[in-house]
Amino acid sequence: MEKTNDIKVSIRHLYKIFGADPQAALAHVKAGVGKPELLETYNHVLGLQDINVDIREGRITVIMGLSGSGKSTLIRHLNRLIEPTAGEVLFDGENILEWNDARIRDLRRKNMSMVFQKFALLPHRTVLENAGMALATRGVARQEYQAEATRWLDRVGLQGLGDQYPHQLSGGMQQRVGIARALASNSDIMLMDEAFSALDPLIRTDMQDLLLELQAELHKTIVFITHDLDEALKLADHLVILNDGAVVQQGEPQHILLHPNDPYIEDFVADINRARVLRVRSIMREGEIDGAFSGDVDHEANLESVIARAEGALDRRYRVMRGETPVGVLEMPDLMRALVPRRASAA
């Protein structure tokens, strides 16, 4: 496949089947055998089925689904911690499944850093040493990586804690060390597997805000795994929803929320506070911008803020701005319609 500058990783027709003879089971799957029948009749587990996803450079791709959906299995294919049954994983246009062990080790050390749910810090190493671990594994001496590790510890809010040990830090602080370690590695891609799931809700929100703050500055390529739709909608530039090892729907999160294409997605989005999550840009009318307006609203404002500003009145009409540029018109009836969930059959 031709290398595309905007696409950092491209997953193509990826299958993973667990069992004694996955290739024979793959033939059954391609012939139409589903996950339950594959297990019951052939004693194999269908982990991933024909996954096709493009991960774009400088953006956050969130892969979400319930337990057993295949999301953690999928992320481990990106650095070949798990070998696929069939398919391709292209990194900068090259199929890493054709790489030898030495190139894969380099990929893991230099190109893809990983932030784990359970922090994965070494208890006998200081916070500074943990933050510099990726550099240390490349043979960089402590006196050389110390400044870089300290810089990122400071950036994630852990100033002056480099000499502490992991057990002396709270869970949220330990996860900050994990993020600092990933950033200090200066890798092309950050893989984050349920990175905030073990944290208390308030700390989890703080970590999400920190990640978005860092991303606005650094524009990293991030693959983030979660089972939480609120977290996915908050973080994702591109959202991929898995069920039973297959992609049910993927795209821009606002579009998925407004246009679910499957009953499974409908169930996911049913209880979301749409006024708080939906943005003006998703429901505004583009094109001719004229007539009388009740005021200006930012294209990234959520609908809740517009409702409050309109004080519930349905006759208000707002000009939508991106910076100093008018980009659309928001009519209150359109806003109210967007608050009503759509059925997949009508989408």
Give the tens place of pLDDT for each residue, 124-167.
Answer: 999 999 999 888 888 888 888 888 899 999 988 899 999 999 99
pLDDT at 328 over 80: yes
Q: What is the pLDDT of residue 79?
A: 93
Phi, psi torsion values for 78, nearest 5 degrees: -70, -30
User: What integer pLDDT is reported at residue 5 of this predicted model?
Assistant: 55
Q: Are strands 317-322 and 86-91 parallel, antiparallel or unpaired?
A: unpaired
pLDDT of residue 114: 84
Task: Please name each of the domains of the chain with its CATH number.
Answer: 55-269 (3.40.50.300), 274-346 (3.90.1280.20)
Q: How far is CA 219 from the centre of its chain?
A: 13
- Of 184, 228, 238, whose CA–CA distance to 207 is shortest? 228
The SS3 of residue 340 is coil
Any idea how long the chain is?
Answer: 347
What would the mean pLDDT of 317-340 be, rounded to a whole number? 92
Closest to 305 (Cα-Cα) out of 273, 337, 347, 264: 273
Q: What digits encode the pLDDT tens for the residues 216-270?
A: 999 999 999 999 888 999 999 999 999 999 999 999 999 999 999 888 898 888 8
Provide the Cα torsion 37, 41, 44, 48; round to 10°. Answer: -20
- Segment 31-55 shows an average pLDDT of 95
Confidence of residue 3 (pLDDT cuts 50, 70, 90): very low
User: Angle CA(204)–CA(205)–CA(208) in degrees, nearest 5?
Assistant: 90
Q: At what angle do helices 201-218 and 171-184 cross, to 10 degrees?
A: 20
Taking residues 24-42, report their average pLDDT: 95
Banded model confidence at residue 343, pLDDT cuts 50, 70, 90: low
* Mean pLDDT on 24-35: 95
- pTM here is 0.87
Mean pLDDT of 71-98: 95
> What band does 345 get if pLDDT is binned at 50, 70 and 90?
very low
